[in-house]
Chains A and B, each alone.
Chain A
């Protein structure tokens, strides 16, 4: 039957309204809150559910009968890690949604475009030159992400704009170039650090830094808000830069905002957890599939959904072969890579 394939992909026929956006985001926020609480009970060290819930409800002011060790596991290890997972997921999904709208390309993703690698190189430089100062890391990672973003953008832009294939090729070039930089720097490290470093490169949340956690969360929320405020401009940019310009969008201004905000989001999340791949691809895609392509709903939904997605993926990563752990990036790539292939095939119509 003609049109069946596209009907399956059809956006909801009804227009997106402010109320619909608020309701959808509220539902996702509640789900996120539930996920944070429930996954904190799961892990290699089982915690008593009722006492843990009571302690979380008291925001850590009461132990509710948990032992000292249990209390520390819950508040010093698990909850910070889960919150970091939420921030990283929210950041990467928001950045992905932003790149996709700006570059008019459903396949754009920080990891696949080499932007995560740019941030990783930045983080490594910070580790080598400012090893002890963890505040420098996100700043240099942000710079690395920004440089990689511009490199990909310049490489991909042809006379006819950036086609999906050209963009992905540019991403491959930047990724492989930066990978060799990473390998080069890694060989300069001592053997004991290489293993933990390889884990970090694949995306690993086990090294949660408590000092940076609030900053990472703040950047995620601020970045998601900033891109949501530009969502209507991005809706028009998705239809082409020329059209958007004709209709009144300050194209240059919006482009700079998206580049800066997305690079900041990727930089801060990579500095905290390495390159968690495919989140920026899977989550915005699911958001658009279920809620439509209007960025006013799909960006905030992707932010909340990304948080949810990485929390669940990390819970799997730290429990599936407990007491040993997998890097969370391995789980997200396992889900993301097949979806990427599916999307690539579909983009050829």
Chain B
């Protein structure tokens, strides 16, 4: 379980995150939404220990994050970040096997074990990449690479998933597939997930909790029904919105109303 208490993150001249608290509970997906520059990604990176929080505490299974070594964190927290530029040819399978790094033991001389391969095959199947496993990463489309990033995160078998804009490059059907995979992990393997996203409706459909951030602070947090209210969204995003019931799920559905629009 990952808990953040009153966490602040400061860069040289500005505070990116101010006194944010959250708890990732087993089996739950939490979404962070908010305008650009709200501190969403900074919070996510602090939760993984990548940037030091300047105050507050972050506890992983009850232990302060900064006291744990890198491998033991990486066995428990997996990150799906924006993809980095690839300058060396590496196959999809090799890329996904990178997710097994934290599990390497001296007994294997640092080589992948049969179990590592087995895990990789399973996640390749789950992300529909089996047929591409021998292809080079830089030959894939943006969407396929995004799925490979997801596959690598799943290959870590970490019970906590942190996802930064995981659906940015994906078409509608793969967006749904990817978030279903996250949901499945949470339901079946007692995992928890934190998703930073700009897609308010995706958050509404898949998240159990939503944390709405602005200027580094938590503006609201709670269930989608509690957070996604017109006056709250209007104030934070500075745009008129309509919120009605989703015709299928019954949950909230957000429609921005632009000042200039085409009449039909």
Interface residues of A (CB under 8 A from B): 3, 6, 9-11, 13, 15, 17-18, 104-106, 164, 229, 231-233, 235-236, 238-240, 242-243, 245-250, 288, 292-294, 296, 347
Contacts and interface: CB of A to CB of B under 8 A. Distances in A.
B250 interface: no
Contact of A240 (B71, B84, B136, B156): B84
A63 B198 CA distance: 80
B134 A246 contact: no
B139 A6 contact: yes
B81 A235 contact: no
Given A3-B139, A231-B110, A247 B101 contact: yes
Contacts of B87: 104-106, 164, 238, 347
B70 A245 contact: yes
Contacts of A231: 110
Contacts of A248: 70-71, 73-75, 101-102
B18 to A, nearest CB: 23
Nearest to B80: A246
A221 to B, nearest CB: 18
Nearest to A251: B70
A303 B69 CA distance: 32
Given A3-B139, A17-B111, A246-B50, A239 B98 contact: yes
B257 interface: no
Interface stretch (B89-97, B171-179, B209-217, B234-242): B89-97
Contact of B136 (A11, A229, A236): A11
Greatest chain A CB density within 10 A among B81, B110, B152 is at B110
A18 B110 CA distance: 10
B109 A18 contact: yes
Nearest to A241: B84
Nearest to A233: B101
A6 B75 CA distance: 34
Contacts of B78: 246
B200 to A, nearest CB: 26
Nearest to A232: B110
Given A6-B138, A247-B74, A248-B102, A11 B91 contact: yes
B194 to A, nearest CB: 14
A11 B90 contact: yes
Contacts of A105: 87
A229 B106 CA distance: 11
Contacts of A232: 101, 104, 110
29 contacts: A3-B139, A6-B89, A6-B139, A10-B89, A11-B89, A13-B91, A18-B109, A105-B87, A229-B110, A232-B101, A233-B101, A236-B101, A238-B88, A238-B90, A239-B95, A239-B98, A242-B50, A245-B50, A246-B48, A246-B81, A247-B98, A247-B102, A248-B73, A248-B101, A248-B102, A288-B89, A293-B90, A296-B111, A347-B87
Nearest to B156: A247
B99 interface: yes
A15 to B, nearest CB: 6
B131 to A, nearest CB: 13
A248 B103 CA distance: 9
Contacts of B111: 17-18, 296
B98 to A, nearest CB: 5
A292 B95 CA distance: 13
B107 interface: no
Nearest to A14: B134
Contacts of A104: 87-88
Nearest to B134: A13
B248 interface: no
A293 B89 contact: yes
Nearest to A347: B87
Contact of A294 (B48, B73, B94): B94
Nearest to A238: B88
B4 interface: no
A249 to B, nearest CB: 7
A243 B110 CA distance: 18
A292 B136 CA distance: 11
A320 to B, nearest CB: 35
Contacts of A288: 88-89
A293 B74 contact: no
Nearest to A19: B111
Given A6-B139, A15-B91, 4 more contacts: A9-B89, A240-B84, A247-B101, A296-B110
Nearest to B103: A248
Nearest to B90: A293
B86 to A, nearest CB: 7
A212 B112 CA distance: 39
Interface in B34-55: 48, 50
A6 B84 contact: no
Chain A to chain B: the 10 pairs with minimum beta-carbon distance, closest first:
A248-B74, A240-B84, A248-B102, A13-B134, A246-B79, A248-B71, A293-B88, A11-B89, A247-B101, A232-B110
A229 B136 CA distance: 25
Contacts of B99: 247
A229 to B, nearest CB: 7
A154 to B, nearest CB: 18
Given A245-B70, A248-B101, A239 B86 contact: yes
Interface in B131-171: 134, 136, 138-139, 152, 156
Contacts of B109: 18
Nearest to A295: B88
Contacts of A233: 101
Given A235-B98, A236-B101, A293-B88, A250 B70 contact: yes
